[in-house]
Structures are given as C-alpha cells and as structure tokens.
C-alpha cells in the first residue's frame, strides 16, 4: 500500500495549513496562536477529546477507533520555531523578522493534523490514537513539561512515535535506526581562577590564560585517549574569554562548551572526567577551576520492536528500497527522547529532499513530503491497531 488516495487528496489542504504556520512562527512555550490553531482544527475534525494547556501550551487530542477496545498510541509533533531571520524568499516566509520555522516543525504539525483528520473521519482501528502537539522542542524541553503534567498516564498512552524531516534525504524516503539515534546534549562552563598582574611580571601572577589553555588541550584527551573509539563522544570548548589588555594578566578566564554522547555510560564518564581533568589541570598550574555541568536532552533511544514496526510501516508507504533501517546516528539532540525514556517507541526521519539544512536561514519544509508523512501516521495507526 503506497500513499493512501484520500491522503493524497488532502495534500493541498495540509500544505495550506503548513504555510499558514510557516508565516506565523512562535518560539518555545509562547506558541499560543499555533496551539489555538491546532486545537480548533482538532475540534472541527470531531476528535473525542481535545485538551489544551498541557505542558503550558501543548495540545493532546484523543481519537477513538470504531473497532473496539485496544491500547492508546501516542503520535507526537512539535510546534515551535527558531530565533532566525528567514532568507528562504518563499511567498509564505515568516512575517515576523527574527522568528522562522527553520526546523520544519510547521510541517510536522501540519502532517499530524492531516493524519488526525483522516483518522477521525475513518476510525478504522481499535483502541485510540493520542495526537500530541508539544511546545518548546528547541531547547525548552516541552516534551518533558507535558510528561510532568501527567500526559502519558492521564491518557493511558502505551507507546510513542515521533517523526522529523531530514534535508538531503530524498522525498519519499525514510531513515531510522535501533538504539541511540540522536545524542544527549550537555553544556558546561569552566571558570579558571588565578591571580592578575602586570604582563611583564608573570612571576607575580597565577596566569589563568596559560592554565585555561592547558585545560582546553587536556580535555581533548578524554575523547582521544580515554574513550572507546566506537563509542561516540564529542567534547567541544566553543568559547574562551579572558583579559582585556595586552599588558595585563587577568584574574580569571571563562570557558564554555558542549558534550555530546550516544550512550548513558559515556555521558556519565564524560561528565566525571571533564570535572577531574579541568580541576587537576588548573591545580597543576596553581590555579583553581569551577566547573558547572548542565545535563540537557538525553539520548534519543529507539526501542527494538517499535523500530522494526516503524520500518515495516515506512516500507508499506514508500517501498522497502526507500527505507534505510540502519542510518548513522545524529549528534544533534531531540526532546522526544524524554518520551522514549518513559514509553517504548521510535523516532523516524522523513526525506525533505534537496533543501537547505535544519536551522539554516534559507531552510523551508518541503510540502512534497506531506503525503508520505501523513500516510506513515495513518498506516501506523491502522496496522498497529488492526481489529
């Protein structure tokens, strides 16, 4: 079964919603107009329950099947945009300078709305589908906010599925992998405290610039000498600030950066060693190091059975040759990871074709992907919950 006929007929409508959302981007939890638009549409489709204000501005709708009792599956889309000045030049480009749907969450939301409309019309399944529209994927952990509001338990959601568009993957293609598919993204700040002096009297100082330089170099050994090369780890010092003048040794230097990992044990190890190496290296130079380590989104971990099932569904929609079940993981992060920590599920990538990359000012979601995305959701519901 390729793209469903009724879904193909819906493409213009879904693209119109998508372009409306694209023109009107909102950031983080401040997605009031977007969530109102979503809730209005879900009510107009006749969903059995439409609840707003979950995780501040998230929306969940329940669509009951007509084929009897069964489990509740959660399908999730994200609604927020990015603080980017759009340069796509499209007629539906952002009307708000400095905000843009540069990650395609407009497309994710529109496709899940299309699926909700189809499923509410046909209801050819048992159990229920929960369509989940979350705020604040881009750094605000909106998924976690919805979980903390009790969403998964309240609606009895037993499995969760998510989807993200992928530039450079051809339209009509899907990609996924079992296990770690996206990285955990942590940040750190290190303040190296020394003692300032005249730059011509270094013996009177404890030079934090030299100590910080050694810390930057020493941190690289965590990846290169201490970590199994087959277990991915990124340690990047992305910022270094200290001193103002060429003739003054400053009193302190600040470093900041990110740690990306694909396994929980690598993450724990990296945090522990980052603290130890920074502190000991500073000490070796007579300075001290204050380390602040902030854990961001966890690893996005696809469960085996649900990933196999997602591959089966994508293959039905796109044909087996168009589904890569062993994609390389991304070192970017995704807050659907929080849902996958609570429930089994799978996160799949859908081809966006030859477009600008995600978070690029020229990016636009590709409306040609809509029938494939909507068909994936619909086929997943009707297959998983077949009577």
Which positions lie near Zn ion, rule CB under 5 A?
A: 103
Q: Are 314 and 376 in contact (CB under 8 A)?
A: yes
CB of 333 to Zn ion, least distance (A): 9
Rounded CA gap, 49 and 47, in Å?
6
The residue whose two tokens read 């796109």 is: 318
Q: How many CB atoms lie within 10 A of CB 103?
A: 22
CB of 103 to Zn ion, least distance (A): 3
Give bridge partners of residue 128 from the DSSP assignment.
Answer: 64, 72
User: Between residues 196 and 329, which has the closer beta carbon with respect to Zn ion?
Assistant: 329
The strands making up 288-294's β-sheet, listed across from edge to edge, are 233-242, 252-261, 184-193, 288-294
DSSP code, position 354: S
User: Between residues 103 and 289, which has the closer beta carbon with respect to Zn ion?
Assistant: 103
Rounded CA gap, 174 and 310, in Å?
10
Q: Are 206 and 286 in contact (CB under 8 A)?
A: yes
Phi, psi of 310 (to 5 degrees): -60, -40
Rounded CA gap, 43 and 39, in Å?
6
Q: Of the candidates 18, 120, 121, which has an alpha carbon nearest to the alpha carbon of residue 371?
A: 18
CB of 5 to Zn ion, least distance (A): 30
User: Between residues 103 and 132, which has the closer beta carbon with respect to Zn ion?
Assistant: 103
CB of 95 to Zn ion, least distance (A): 20
Rounded CA gap, 40 and 42, in Å?
6
User: Between residues 216 and 358, which has the closer beta carbon with respect to Zn ion?
Assistant: 358
Q: Of the candidates 334, 387, 371, which has an alpha carbon nearest to the alpha carbon of residue 160?
A: 334
CB of 330 to Zn ion, least distance (A): 11
CB of 138 to Zn ion, least distance (A): 5
User: Between residues 128 and 302, which has the closer beta carbon with respect to Zn ion?
Assistant: 302
CB of 99 to Zn ion, least distance (A): 13
User: Between residues 31 and 206, which has the closer beta carbon with respect to Zn ion?
Assistant: 31
Rounded CA gap, 236 and 266, in Å?
15
User: Between residues 4 and 141, which has the closer beta carbon with respect to Zn ion?
Assistant: 141
CB of 359 to Zn ion, least distance (A): 6
Extended beta strands in the chain, E state: 49-54, 58-64, 72-78, 128-134, 157-166, 174-175, 179-182, 184-193, 197-198, 233-242, 248-249, 252-261, 288-294, 300-302, 323-324, 345-351
User: Between residues 166 and 207, which has the closer beta carbon with respect to Zn ion?
Assistant: 166
Q: Are strands 72-78 and 157-166 parallel, antiparallel or unpaired?
A: parallel
The CB-nearest residue to Zn ion is: 103
CB of 46 to Zn ion, least distance (A): 29
User: Between residues 45 and 338, which has the closer beta carbon with respect to Zn ion?
Assistant: 338
């Amino acid at each position: 079964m390729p793209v469903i006929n009724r879904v193909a007929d819906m493409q213009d409508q879904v693209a119109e919603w998508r372009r409306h959302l694209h023109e009107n981007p909102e950031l983080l939890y401040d997605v009031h107009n977007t969530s109102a638009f979503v809730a209005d549409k879900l009510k107009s489709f006749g969903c059995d329950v439409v609840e707003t204000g979950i995780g501040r501005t998230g929306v969940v709708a329940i669509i009951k099947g007509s084929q009897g009792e069964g489990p509740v599956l959660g399908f999730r889309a994200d609604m927020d945009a990015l603080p980017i000045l759009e340069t796509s030049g499209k007629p539906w480009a952002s009307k708000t300078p400095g905000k843009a749907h540069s990650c395609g969450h407009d497309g994710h939301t529109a496709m899940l709305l299309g699926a909700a409309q189809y499923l509410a019309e046909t209801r050819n399944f048992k159990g229920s589908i929960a369509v989940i529209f979350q705020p604040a994927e881009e750094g605000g952990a909106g998924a976690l906010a919805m979980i903390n509001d009790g969403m998964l338990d309240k609606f009895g959601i037993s499995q969760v599925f998510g989807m993200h568009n992928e530039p450079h993957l051809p339209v009509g293609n899907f990609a996924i992998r079992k296990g770690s598919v996206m990285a955990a993204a942590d940040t750190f700040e290190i303040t190296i405290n020394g003692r300032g002096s005249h730059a011509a009297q270094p013996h009177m100082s404890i030079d934090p610039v030299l100590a910080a330089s050694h810390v930057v170099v020493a941190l690289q050994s965590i990846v290169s000498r201490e970590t199994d090369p087959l277990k991915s780890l990124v340690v990047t010092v992305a910022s270094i600030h200290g001193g103002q003048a060429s003739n003054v040794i400053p009193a302190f230097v600040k470093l900041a950066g990110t740690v990306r990992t694909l396994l929980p044990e690598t993450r724990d190890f990296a945090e522990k060693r980052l603290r130890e190496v920074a502190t000991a290296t500073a000490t070796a130079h007579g300075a001290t190091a204050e380390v602040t380590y902030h854990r961001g989104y966890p690893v996005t971990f696809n469960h085996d059975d649900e990933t196999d099932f997602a591959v089966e569904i994508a293959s039905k929609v796109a044909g087996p040759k168009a589904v890569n079940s062993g994609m390389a993981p991304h070192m970017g992060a995704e807050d659907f990871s929080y849902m996958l920590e609570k429930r089994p599920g799978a996160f799949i990538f859908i081809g966006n074709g030859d477009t600008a990359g995600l978070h690029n000012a020229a990016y636009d979601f590709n409306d040609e992907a809509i029938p494939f995305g909507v068909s994936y959701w619909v086929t997943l519901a009707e297959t998983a919950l077949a009577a």
